[in-house]
C-alpha cells in the first residue's frame, strides 16, 4: 500500500485554507443547479467540463457562477452539511476552518437575489453543529471580503462579523483577485475586526509579488498568509516569516490551476521549508481544481521527499497553526500520534 493510497487517506487532518462555496463537489453543485436552472449545468459530465479553468480570471468567473446557485438558507444549510460530510468521510478531516463570503449570499445591494444575514448565520451554524454531531468534524468560520467588490463589500463584511457573528466565527480574511486590489485600503476594517478579537488571515502573494505579502503583514496584521506563493522571490520576507512564526497556507494544485506557478515541479514549497517557514497543506477549492486534501498531501510528500513520519509532521503543523480550541488541538494531535505510531 502506497503512502498516497493508504497512509494519507486515513491520517487525521486539519485544513485551514478551504473555501465554503469552492468546496462544493460536482454532486453538491448538481443538486443546487437542479434547484436553480440556468448558467450552471446539472449534468455531472458537463459540470466537469465547466470546471476546466484557463486562468485565474476564468476561475473567478466559474466560482461566481456557482456562488449564484446558493440563494436560500436551505441552499446554505445543504451546502455546508454536505461539505462537512465529504470532508470527514473522504478526507479524514477532524477540524477545518472554512472561509465564507457572506457578502455574495446576503447581497444587501440586490435584495431580490440575497437573504438576510440572520438567516445566513442560522443556516451555517445549524449545519456546523450537525456536522460535529454526525461526523465528528469541528468546523470554524473565517469571514472574508471579496476583494473585487472593494470597500462597500469590506464594510458589509465587517458589519456581518461584528454585529451578527456566528458562534463559530474566529477570523477575518480577504480573497478574490489580487491584481489591482490594494490590500492597504482594507486596513480600517481589519483593525476593527482584530479589535473585536478576530484573527487576520488575508490571501496575499498568490498572483502578485512579495510586496502584497509585506502590505498584508504591515497594514492588515496578518497572522497567517493565504497562499504566499511569491514569498519565495524575497529572501528577507522568507526570513521574516520564519522568525515570526507566520505560517503559509500552501495550496499546490490551486497554484498550478490558476497559473500562479507554472507546474508542480516548480512549486516553491521546498523553498519555504528550506527557509524554515511554517507551512500547512490545503486544498483551496478542491472540486473546482480537480483535487482533494489527500491528493495535496501526496503532492507535498513528493515535492519534499517525505516518508510517513514527515507527512504526519505536516498534519501536526496544520493543527498547531490552526485557531482550534485547545482541547480540539490536543485531541487531534493525539489522534495523529496514535495513527502514525508515535
Report whether 329 contacts 28 (CB < 8 A): no
pLDDT greater at residue 313 or residue 27: 313
- Host H or E run for residue 17: strand 13-19
* CA atoms of 259 and 266, how far apart (whole Å): 11
* pTM score: 0.94
pLDDT mean over 223-252? 98
| Cα of 168 vs its chain's centroid, Å | 15
Residue 49's CB: how many other CB atoms inside 10 A?
9
pLDDT at 7 over 60: yes
Question: Could you give the percent of the chain with pLDDT greater than 70?
Answer: 95
Beta strand pairing call for 248-250 and 199-204: unpaired
The pLDDT assigned to 221 comes to: 98
The pLDDT assigned to 108 comes to: 64
Q: Report residue 254 as a C-alpha cell.
A: 490551486
Q: Report residue 301 as a C-alpha cell.
A: 510528500
pLDDT mean over 47-76? 80
Residue 295's CB: how many other CB atoms inside 10 A?
18
C-alpha separations of 98 from 15, 283, 285, 324 in Å: 8, 11, 11, 12
The pLDDT assigned to 54 comes to: 65
Decide if 86 is catalytic. no
* CA atoms of 229 and 204, how far apart (whole Å): 8
The pLDDT assigned to 1 comes to: 43
Q: Report residue 311 as a C-alpha cell.
A: 507527512
Q: Report residue 107 as a C-alpha cell.
A: 447581497
Question: Could you give the percent of the chain with pLDDT greater than 90?
Answer: 79
| Cα of 195 vs its chain's centroid, Å | 23
Residues 189-199 have pLDDT tens digits of 999 999 999 99
pLDDT at 94 over 50: yes
Domain layout of the chain by residue ranges = 3-340
CATH of the domain spanning 3-340: 3.20.20.140
Supply the Cα-derived Rg of the chain in whole angstroms: 19
The pLDDT assigned to 307 comes to: 96
Report whether 258 contacts 56 (CB < 8 A): yes
Nearest to 174 by CA among 166, 164, 184, 165: 184
Nearest to 62 by CA among 113, 110, 104, 22: 22
Question: Which candidate in 82, 206, 223, 249 is catalytic?
Answer: 206
Nearest to 270 by CA among 300, 295, 247, 242: 300
Q: What are 192's strand-pairing partners?
A: none
At residue 111 the predicted structure's pLDDT band, cuts being 50, 70 and 90, is low
Q: What are 7's strand-pairing partners?
A: none
Residues 272-298 have pLDDT tens digits of 999 999 999 999 999 888 899 999 999
The pLDDT assigned to 113 comes to: 66
The pLDDT assigned to 56 comes to: 67
The pLDDT assigned to 265 comes to: 97
Q: Report residue 267 as a C-alpha cell.
A: 512549486
pLDDT at 258 over 50: yes
For all residues of the chain together, what is the average pLDDT?
93
pLDDT greater at residue 56 or residue 100: 100
At residue 167 the predicted structure's pLDDT band, cuts being 50, 70 and 90, is very high
The pLDDT assigned to 62 comes to: 78
Residues 297-332 have pLDDT tens digits of 999 999 999 999 999 999 999 999 999 999 999 999
Residue 78's CB: how many other CB atoms inside 10 A?
19
Q: Report residue 191 as a C-alpha cell.
A: 483593525
Nearest to 311 by CA among 327, 328, 294: 294
* CA atoms of 109 and 1, how far apart (whole Å): 53
DSSP-assigned letter for residue 117: H
HSE-up (13 A, CA, CB side) for residue 20: 31
* CA atoms of 22 and 40, how far apart (whole Å): 14
Amino acid at each position: 500500500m502506497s503512502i498516497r493510497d493508504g497512509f494519507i487517506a486515513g491520517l487525521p487532518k486539519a485544513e485551514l485554507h478551504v473555501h465554503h462555496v469552492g468546496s462544493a463537489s460536482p454532486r453538491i453543485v448538481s443538486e443546487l443547479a437542479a434547484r436553480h436552472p440556468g448558467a450552471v449545468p446539472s449534468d455531472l459530465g458537463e459540470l466537469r467540463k465547466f470546471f476546466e479553468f484557463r486562468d485565474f480570471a476564468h476561475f473567478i468567473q466559474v466560482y461566481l457562477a456557482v456562488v449564484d446557485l446558493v440563494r436560500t438558507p436551505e441552499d446554505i444549510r445543504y451546502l455546508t452539511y454536505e461539505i462537512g460530510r465529504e470532508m470527514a468521510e473522504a478526507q479524514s478531516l477532524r477540524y477545518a476552518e472554512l472561509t465564507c463570503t457572506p457578502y455574495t449570499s446576503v447581497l444587501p445591494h440586490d435584495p431580490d437575489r440575497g437573504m438576510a444575514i440572520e438567516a445566513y448565520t442560522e443556516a451555517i451554524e445549524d449545519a456546523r453543529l450537525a456536522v460535529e454531531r454526525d461526523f465528528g468534524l469541528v468546523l470554524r468560520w473565517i469571514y472574508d471580503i471579496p476583494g473585487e467588490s472593494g470597500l462597500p463589500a469590506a464594510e458589509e463584511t465587517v458589519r456581518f462579523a461584528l454585529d451578527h457573528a456566528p458562534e463559530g466565527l474566529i477570523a477575518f480574511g480577504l480573497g478574490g483577485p489580487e491584481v489591482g486590489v490594494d490590500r492597504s485600503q482594507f486596513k480600517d476594517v481589519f483593525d476593527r475586526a482584530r479589535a473585536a478579537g478576530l484573527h487576520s488571515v488575508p490571501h496575499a502573494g498568490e498572483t502578485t509579488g512579495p510586496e502584497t505579502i509585506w502590505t498584508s503583514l504591515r497594514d492588515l496584521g496578518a497572522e497567517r498568509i493565504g497562499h504566499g506563493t511569491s514569498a519565495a522571490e524575497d529572501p528577507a520576507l522568507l526570513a521574516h516569516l520564519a522568525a515570526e512564526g507566520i505560517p503559509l497556507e500552501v495550496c499546490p494544485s490551486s497554484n498550478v490551476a490558476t497559473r500562479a506557478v507554472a507546474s508542480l515541479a516548480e512549486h516553491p514549497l521546498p523553498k519555504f521549508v528550506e527557509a524554515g517557514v511554517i507551512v500547512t497543506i490545503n486544498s483551496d477549492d478542491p472540486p473546482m481544481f480537480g483535487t482533494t486534501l489527500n491528493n495535496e498531501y501526496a503532492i507535498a510528500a513528493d515535492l519534499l521527499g517525505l516518508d510517513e513520519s514527515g507527512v504526519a509532521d505536516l498534519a501536526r503543523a496544520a493543527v498547531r497553526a490552526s485557531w482550534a480550541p485547545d482541547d480540539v488541538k490536543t485531541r487531534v494531535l493525539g489522534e495523529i500520534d496514535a495513527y502514525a505510531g508515535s
